[in-house]
Structure 1
Amino acid sequence: MPKDENRNDGPGFPADFIWGAATAAYQIEGAWDVDGKGESIWDRFAHTPGKVRGGDTGDVACDSYHRFAEDIALVKAMGLGSYRYSIAWPRVQPGGRGGANPKGMDYYRRLTDAVLEAGLRPLVTLYHWDLPQELEDAGGWANRDTAARFGDFANLVADGLGDRVRHWVVLNEPKTFTSTGYWLGVHAPGRSDPRAFLRATHTANLAQGLGFRALKAHRADCEVGSAFDVAPMYPKSPAYRDIAAAERWHRFLNLWFLLPALHGRYPDGVLPVEEIDDLLGFLPGDDQRIKAPFDFVGLNYYSPWLVSDAPQGCDIPGLNCIGEWARGRGTLPKTDIGWDIDAQGFEDILLRMREETGNLPIEISECGAAFNTGPGADGEIDDQARIDFLRRHLQAMARAMQRGVPVRAFHHWSLLDNFEWAEGYSQRFGVVHVDFEHAQARKLKASGHWYARVAADHAIR
């Protein structure tokens, strides 16, 4: 019979493989100060001149606070099975302390009910970077008490949504929100304090353990993980010093929040043994407090890293030998945000992370690319570059699965074009185009139609 040009004839996936799309509260919700929501560090950061490209803010974003039903309908129309979204901490607990804001909890109940009514699986992230500003004023993630406050928040959310939600992500990219927020200063809260950064990593690990236990205490049959942004660390040269630096950087960037959860310890060879407790603020009993025996592991992948030795040191105490890094290898095609397109790196890091996660199920909680293709004369958005990116990365994921990596789900980042942190609205990651100048009107891109066919066929064309 003649070939159906709309079918996907590439690698196949199991019939129960889960296809989904991902979002984050601050990037899409808007409604930044309505219904009792408190100020977040991203509200403060974005309202500070010079911090975000173009002076953009998330005040309105995609207006998903009012249009969530439309967004869920798009996920359903693509035939996907999972919708990943996050809870805005200051919408539920405006100052990061005390009881729940009833209007905030009601919003997330209505959102979750709509997801379930659409036949979708809610994959709910507790923390996707929007710390209440009042907690930042008290020291933020560098203050150990923030972990306790997060535990209280997790209990409130579990109490409000635990009867509806079985699948949870505790933290999204703790490596990134601690490093960009407290060391590099390019994301909220915009601090450049290396010692505060190291303390923040330990507080985040304490929070991860507390959040895990809070969710499990409310519903024993729930499945809990965290989403770690990972990348292969390629040495800049075959010299031993660069190979060793790449390995140290792998342990620091890829394992710093995973090993504490699974084993109650930090990776060896990163911080000096005699200094690590002081640098992190590690107290007796913390080896048990940071444990979170996950039911699955979420992995986010975008591009690789290139690492070389740095004998001159860096500005983090105790890290003078870790190495220098650059995002990407410099010789590959790039996305519109400037990140290398390296599907082989996706396969490589899946295989490498499996060495640490063993037989734990893996969910790709984010993978996507910025391509700023706009509507053509016919109004359609023909983003073929994104289709090619997706095809290559899904093929790489399929190869890793054939080699034994237990991936059970893939979530495209992002469902919608949205507020892309310090880049504002200049970078578009969505399979759905959002017209920010005309009431945030949505339109499915060519990549969205292609992704829908993948989900329908469980195969890649």
Structure 2
Amino acid sequence: MKKITINDRSPLLTSDFVFGVATSSFQIEGDSDGRATCIWDTFCRQTGTIKDNSNGDHACEHVKYWQQDVELIASLGVDAYRLSIAWGRVINEDESINQQGLQFYRKLVQALASRGIKTHVTLYHWDLPQYLEDRGGWLNRETAYRFAEYAEAVAQALGNSVASYATINEPFCSAYLGYEAGIHAPGPQPGNRRKNGRQAAHHILLAHGLALPKLRQHAPQAQHGIVLNFSPCHAASAAEQDKRAAKQAHAYHNLWYLQPLLQGSYPDLLQQLQPEERPEIIDGDMAVIARPIDFLGVNYYTRTTFKGTENGWFKDIPPSGDGLTTMGWEVYPQGLTEILTELTKTYANLPPIYITENGAAYPDPVIDGNIHDPQRIDYFQQHLTAVEQSMQQGVDIRGYFIWSLMDNFEWAEGYTQRFGIVHVDFKTQQRRLKDSAKAWQQLLLERKHKMIATEPC
């Protein structure tokens, strides 16, 4: 079996660098009867939306097997577990608080703490309650205020028992893939698609800003931030049209979500949009969005390549060739160093960073009870090296979370993609450690021994 190794002098070996695993609520929890219906429940019932016509009703049945899963997490030797809270498990359709749902998360956090594992909470990982979507969802400004109320309910319940609260996971995916492209929930919306995407993005960022004071009030000792996904945008050729397209894509897909947080403004690309495509922004909104954050979560998987179009916009070019993951993504670890160093140079007020998701999907067949995934081990090794190189070049990185703890419901891909370091048989719910999980166990055990050996007497 391949190993994951870290240099003895690596900054990743310090005691304050956090190694963790990550999941999200809709992808693993199951127990759909225990929460309000969300937009992904509705989306899954529509014809042709999910690759294998599946849904998240059962997923990994984590609500049922959570105690077993906590033991599984502890066995890996990680410092932390990043989870998301299901909005509909906390707030009922009549907008009352679901105390039973909150109690589930209380018990989960307590169980993790009893094993020395810190909890990093994400409040929104794409599962908007359907009753809010029926009122316009993220196209409706009021949803941002409902999110702040939901965030306060969670912070009142969990408080400082949580190490960090991330308000939103990947607003790009909710706004662009959901409301603009329509390939994620809630799917295509009436009206101008680009306007829908930009308006949803604005309201999601506003929700983040509105929630921050509530979180700080009820969990003053925790860290508070947001999680964004980044992909370096490369030109398909040396042609000026393609280089311009790559810059536009970087502004539209990356900076559109980061620049408002750090500078209180959208990229200049906003002015290239037609007036009817621009979001409605009320005076004071940008100041709310730009409230200081303690950390930035960065999700990274691959790079993207673009070429210019005849109308002066950009079009992505899917990768080809050998070595792609089963998602069709190129393995490009140097892109992580590229994007992090670029952002560090661009924004003097960039907060400390946690790599909150990094991982790859592969076939992972079970052979004689074992799951050999050497490609995934290589993927992690290469990206840990990229993290180390980023830190050596001045990027302030505080932790690294594997995506994902276990195989799960992979959104529009259904159960066709396996990102987990733990294999899940979705018929029996049996969990099996893949070789990558065993490699992490070994690495983290060696790390612990090295840290003990270097501690002063």
TM-score normalised over the length of structure 2: 0.92
Following superposition, the deviation at residue 273 of structure 1 comes to: 8.1
Following superposition, the deviation at residue 296 of structure 1 comes to: 0.8
Q: Secondary structure of the equivalent of 1:187?
A: coil
Q: Is the 8 A contact 2:235 2:305 kept in 1?
A: yes
1:244 aligns with 2:233: no
**Residue in 1 that maps onto 2:394:** 404
1:186 aligns with 2:183: yes
**Residue in 2 that maps onto 1:444:** 433
Separation (CA, whole Å) in 2 of partners of 1:284 and 1:455: 49
Following superposition, the deviation at residue 287 of structure 1 comes to: 1.8
**1:387–1:274 CA distance, 2 compared to 1 (3 A):** closer
For each residue in 1:102-140, what CA deviation from the matched residue of structure 2 results, as whole angstroms up to 9, or x when unmatched? 111111111111111121110000000000001101111
Following superposition, the deviation at residue 49 of structure 1 comes to: 2.9
Separation (CA, whole Å) in 2 of partners of 1:380 and 1:443: 8
**Residue in 1 that maps onto 2:210:** 210
Following superposition, the deviation at residue 223 of structure 1 comes to: 0.7
After superposition, residues 254-333 of structure 1 pair within 5 angstroms as 254-272=254-272, 275=275, 279-312=278-311, 321-328=312-319, 330-331=320-321, 333=323
Q: Unaligned stretches of 5+ in structure 1? A: 313-320
**Residue in 2 that maps onto 1:228:** 228
Q: 2:409 aligns with which of 394, 406, 419?
A: 419
After superposition, residues 61-76 of structure 1 pair within 5 angstroms as 61-76=59-74
Q: Is the 8 A contact 1:362 1:408 kept in 2?
A: yes
**Residue in 2 that maps onto 1:87:** 85
**Residue in 2 that maps onto 1:435:** 425
After superposition, residues 64-143 of structure 1 pair within 5 angstroms as 64-95=62-93, 98-143=95-140
Q: Unaligned stretches of 5+ in structure 2? A: 449-457
Separation (CA, whole Å) in 2 of partners of 1:403 and 1:84: 26
Over aligned residues, Cα RMSD in angstroms?
A: 1.9
1:32 aligns with 2:32: yes
Separation (CA, whole Å) in 2 of partners of 1:89 and 1:217: 20
Separation (CA, whole Å) in 2 of partners of 1:186 and 1:274: 23
Stretch deviating more after TM superposition (193-202 or 52-61): 193-202
Separation (CA, whole Å) in 2 of partners of 1:85 and 1:234: 32
Q: Is the 8 A contact 1:30 1:59 kept in 2?
A: yes
Which residue identity lines up with residue 243 of structure 2 in the other structure? Answer: I
Q: Is the 8 A contact 1:53 1:424 kept in 2?
A: yes
Separation (CA, whole Å) in 2 of partners of 1:357 and 1:221: 26
1:395 aligns with 2:385: yes
TM-score normalised over the length of structure 1: 0.91
Q: Is the 8 A contact 2:172 2:253 kept in 1?
A: yes
Q: Is the 8 A contact 2:4 2:377 kept in 1?
A: no
Separation (CA, whole Å) in 1 of partners of 2:288 and 2:228: 19
Separation (CA, whole Å) in 2 of partners of 1:9 and 1:208: 36
Separation (CA, whole Å) in 2 of partners of 1:64 and 1:168: 21
For each residue in 1:36-57, what CA deviation from the matched residue of structure 2 results, as whole angstroms up to 9, or x when unmatched? x110001111122321122111
Q: Secondary structure of the equivalent of 1:226?
A: strand
**1:293–1:7 CA distance, 2 compared to 1 (3 A):** closer
Separation (CA, whole Å) in 1 of partners of 2:91 and 2:5: 46
Question: Sequence identity of aligned pairs in percent?
Answer: 37
Q: Secondary structure of the equivalent of 1:324?
A: strand
Greater helix fraction, Structure 1 or Structure 2: 2
For each residue in 1:136-182, what CA deviation from the matched residue of structure 2 results, as whole angstroms up to 9, or x when unmatched? 01111111111011111111111111142131111000001111111
For each residue in 1:238-266, what CA deviation from the matched residue of structure 2 results, as whole angstroms up to 9, or x when unmatched? 12222222112112211212221222111
After superposition, residues 7-18 of structure 1 pair within 5 angstroms as 8=5, 10=7, 12=10, 13-16=12-15, 17-18=17-18
Following superposition, the deviation at residue 454 of structure 1 comes to: 2.5
Q: 1:380 aligns with which of 354, 370, 373?
A: 370
Q: Is the 8 A contact 1:297 1:357 kept in 2?
A: no
After superposition, residues 131-170 of structure 1 pair within 5 angstroms as 131-170=128-167
For each residue in 1:47-96, what CA deviation from the matched residue of structure 2 results, as whole angstroms up to 9, or x when unmatched? 2232112211110000001111211211211110010000100110123x
Q: Secondary structure of the equivalent of 1:418?
A: coil
Q: How many residues align?
A: 440
Which residue identity lines up with residue 390 of structure 1 in the other structure? Answer: F
Separation (CA, whole Å) in 1 of partners of 2:278 and 2:211: 23
1:360 aligns with 2:357: no
**Residue in 1 that maps onto 2:451:** none
Following superposition, the deviation at residue 6 of structure 1 comes to: 6.7
Q: Secondary structure of the equivalent of 2:161?
A: coil
For each residue in 1:347-398, what CA deviation from the matched residue of structure 2 results, as whole angstroms up to 9, or x when unmatched? 2112122234545211000000001212112x11111111111111111111
Q: Is the 8 A contact 2:232 2:303 kept in 1?
A: yes
Q: Is the 8 A contact 1:301 1:346 kept in 2?
A: yes
Separation (CA, whole Å) in 2 of partners of 1:175 and 1:98: 27
Q: Is the 8 A contact 1:259 1:267 kept in 2?
A: yes
Which residue identity lines up with residue 118 of structure 2 in the other structure? Answer: R
Separation (CA, whole Å) in 1 of partners of 2:401 and 2:395: 17
**Residue in 1 that maps onto 2:442:** 453
Following superposition, the deviation at residue 332 of structure 1 comes to: 5.7
Following superposition, the deviation at residue 322 of structure 1 comes to: 3.6
Q: Is the 8 A contact 1:416 1:431 kept in 2?
A: yes
1:346 aligns with 2:333: no
**1:6–1:28 CA distance, 2 compared to 1 (3 A):** closer
Which residue identity lines up with residue 171 of structure 2 in the other structure? Answer: P
**1:266–1:336 CA distance, 2 compared to 1 (3 A):** same
Which residue identity lines up with residue 141 of structure 1 in the other structure? Answer: W
Stretch deviating more after TM superposition (297-306 or 245-254): 245-254
